[in-house]
Structures are given as C-alpha cells and as structure tokens.
C-alpha cells in the first residue's frame, strides 16, 4: 500500500551537520494534539540519555512530538548527555509552542560523544518550519545509520465506520538482537484507543516482531519502540479485548512485522533472509529459545552464506540451547540454500509449543562494515 501518515500527524527532516556530506540527520514527528503514547525500551543496563529522558516524559503516558538525531547516540555521556537531551526537548517545545514534557527524544549513532548542541539549535527551527504530511519519507531517511534503505510500513482498518491508519518507520541493520534490537521505531495512528489497550497492543506486536529477529546477537543502549495515538479518526474508543482491539492489534502487528523483516533483509552485509520455525516444543517459550539459538549461531549463519547444507550445525545449536529435546524425536528440514529466502523448520516432537524467528547470514561484508564503524 502507499505509505501515508495518519490524520493529525506531520513529519520532516533536515541535514543539521551531525553527519558529514550534508546527509539528513535530524527528524521530527509531530501530532497536532497531545497523543496517548506507549513505549518499550532497551533492556541494556546502560540505557542512553534519550532513553532516560523519554522514560521521564512518558510518566503520564502522553506525548506530542519526537525529535530524532542520527550520527550520535548520546550514550555513555553521563549527566552532560542527559542535560543535552533535556535541552533538545525544551528547545523543540519552545519552537512548537507545547510543553517540554510532551517532547520525546531519540538518538542513534556513535557511542561516547556529546551531542553538537549548536547544530541541533540551528536545525530545530528549520525542522518545525518544514513539517508536512509528506515529510514522513524524509524523516525515515534521516534516522538511518548503516541502513541501506528507509523503512516504512502502513496498515488500515475500520472501526465504527471510521477509517484508521497505522504507520510506522524504523531504522536498524546491525547490532540486532531481541529485548531489544539496535533500532528505533516510531508508530503513529489516528485511532482513539484507551491507554491500557495501546500498551497491551504494542507489547504483543513487539514480542512477535522486533523481539523475534536477530542479526548478530548484540544489543544497543538506545533502542526504543514508540507508539502515538492522537484520536483524529474519532472512532469509538478501542478497549482491550474488544472486537475493535483485535482489528487494531492485527494492523499494528502487521506493521511491526513488516518493519522487522525489512531490518533483517537490510542486515549488515546480508545476502540471505532466513526464517526459522521451531515447533513441537514443550511450550512457546521453549520454542522461541531454541529458534533464537539457531538464529544466533555463527556456524549456522556462515554455513547458509556458503550454501553449505550442514544440518549438524542446526541440531547442535538446538542441543546447546537448554530446551527440552530428544535426539530420537528431533526432525530438521530446510529449503534449498541457493535461494535468497531460506526457511528452516525444526520439529522437537515433544509438545505443542511453536515460535518463529528471523535472521540473516553472516558474511565477510558484515565484518568489514563493523571493523570500520567508528
């Protein structure tokens, strides 16, 4: 479908000079009214300054704008980094004429460097001036780091005779691992929805998408997924467990899964997209644990890159995962490795648990990219 921004939202981006060669590096998403908001953050023990500030500002579950910079993570910058993140929020709030608590901040890029606040101060007025519905496409490009293409997805459904749009954008191509990946994701919807339902919907959608992908098993300090719902569609309020909530959940989950798959396809140096299904486990949690063990196995990933049908590496990864499994009941099969899209299925044959994860192959290009990234 054509990607459109939901009613009541605008976006934009500018090249502020954080990145070199005049690349877009400062993005803004703005809702014309305060929105209900829900978010999930990295579980890394060293969350970056913007993550800490977002947690502060989301205390009441509402937001109206999010400003994102790429090229600098504002991580491991101590109290100075928190001061910079708060100052960025206050600066944008003043330019938009809203409360600073209504502004969320996000950063991605190099760890350990202070934000160039002079460049951000110069860029913010231009960001606000350039806001438009079409600006979502520029914003998606501005949040990229090692990504090779912008990642946008959308879905629509009806509720009470009103059309509702869900649109998301994300970045991420390396340091991708569950809970959470090295990623930023921003989801907008014009749905009227209760706060509890928005939080529950986001949690379920993330678990089946962003928390089910891995590129290299590494987790960053800046990761976040943010959902904003401004109610512009004027539909009957969506409540958790209702029929309308199921429709909302389907749309939100579809958007998140599409974005997550794009991240895997764009995995640093990747040449293969790999889907791994584990079934017949004692329960779903055991199945997911086994599937992630296969997805994170460098031996499996390099074998697939070399189109080497070494199934022993798959069973070895499952055996080392710690899940309940028996040699005499384990069955493994996979699609031809010469294809770009690879499917692996492992049946443990001891229960009804199932899970699917997604990963990419491990290539010399991945090593080159990360050896040079600084």
Cis-peptide, bond into residue 180, ω within 30° of zero: yes
> Is 182 considered catalytic here?
yes
Residue pair 240/196 in contact by the 8 Å Cβ criterion: yes
Q: Collect all residues with Cβ–Cβ distance below 8 Å to 226 and sequence separation of at least 6.
A: 37, 38, 39, 54, 63, 66, 104, 106, 185, 186, 187
Residue 213: its pLDDT value, please?
87
pLDDT on residue 179:
57
Low-confidence ranges of the chain (pLDDT < 70): 1, 173-182, 215-219, 372-374
- Residue 306: partners with Cβ closer than 8 Å, 6 or more residues away: none
9-265: CATH number? 3.60.70.12
DSSP class of 134: G
Alpha-helical segments (H) within the chain: 49-57, 78-96, 117-129, 136-142, 195-207, 243-265, 284-295, 298-305, 311-320, 364-372
The CATH architecture to which 273-372 belongs is Roll (3.10)
* Predicted local confidence at residue 304, as pLDDT: 94
- What's the pLDDT tens digit per position in 167-191? 999 997 654 555 555 689 999 999 9
| Distance between CA atoms of residues 290 and 285, nearest Å | 9
Catalytic-labelled residue, pool 182, 221, 359, 363: 182
Residue at token pair 């600006």: 135
**Which positions ≥6 away from 371 have C-beta within 8 Å?**
none
Distance CA 112, CA 237 (A): 43
Per residue in 336-354, pLDDT tens?
999 999 999 999 999 999 9
pTM of the model: 0.90
Q: Give the start-to-end residue ranges of the domains of the chain.
A: 9-265, 273-372
């Amino acid at each position: 479908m054509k990607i459109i921004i939901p009613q009541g939202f605008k976006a934009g981006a500018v090249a502020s000079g954080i990145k070199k060669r005049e690349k877009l590096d400062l993005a803004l998403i703005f809702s014309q009214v305060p929105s209900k908001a829900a978010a999930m953050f990295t579980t890394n023990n060293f969350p970056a300054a913007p993550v800490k500030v977002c947690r502060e500002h989301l205390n009441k579950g509402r937001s109206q704008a999010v400003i994102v910079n790429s090229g600098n993570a504002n991580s491991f910058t101590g109290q100075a980094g928190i001061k910079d993140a708060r100052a960025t929020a206050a600066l944008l709030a003043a330019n938009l004429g809203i409360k600073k608590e209504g502004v969320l901040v996000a950063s991605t890029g190099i760890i350990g460097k202070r934000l160039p606040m002079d460049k951000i101060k110069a860029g913010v007025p231009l960001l606000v001036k350039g806001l438009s519905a079409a600006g979502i496409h520029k914003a998606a490009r501005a949040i990229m780091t090692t990504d090779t293409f912008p990642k946008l997805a959308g879905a629509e459904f009806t509720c009470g005779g009103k059309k509702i749009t869900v649109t998301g954008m994300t970045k991420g191509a390396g340091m991708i691992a569950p809970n959470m990946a090295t990623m930023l994701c921003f989801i907008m919807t014009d749905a009227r929805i209760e706060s509890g339902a928005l939080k529950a919907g986001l949690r379920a959608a993330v678990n089946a998408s962003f928390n089910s992908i891995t590129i290299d098993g590494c987790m960053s300090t800046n990761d976040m997924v943010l959902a904003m719902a401004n109610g512009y569609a004027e539909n009957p309020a969506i409540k958790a467990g209702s029929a309308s909530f199921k429709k909302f959940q389907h749309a939100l989950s579809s958007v998140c899964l599409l974005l997550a798959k794009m991240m895997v396809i764009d995995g640093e140096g990747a040449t293969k997209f790999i889907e791994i299904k584990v079934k017949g486990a004692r329960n779903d949690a055991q199945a997911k644990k086994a599937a992630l063990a296969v997805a994170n196995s460098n031996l499996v990933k390099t074998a697939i890159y070399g189109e080497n049908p070494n199934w022993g590496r798959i069973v070895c990864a499952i055996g080392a995962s710690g899940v309940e499994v028996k040699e005499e009941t384990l069955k493994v099969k996979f699609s031809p490795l010469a294809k770009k899209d690879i499917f692996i299925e492992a049946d443990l044959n001891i229960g009804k648990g199932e899970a699917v994860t997604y990963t990419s192959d491990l290539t010399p290009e991945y090593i080159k990219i990360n050896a040079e990234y600084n």
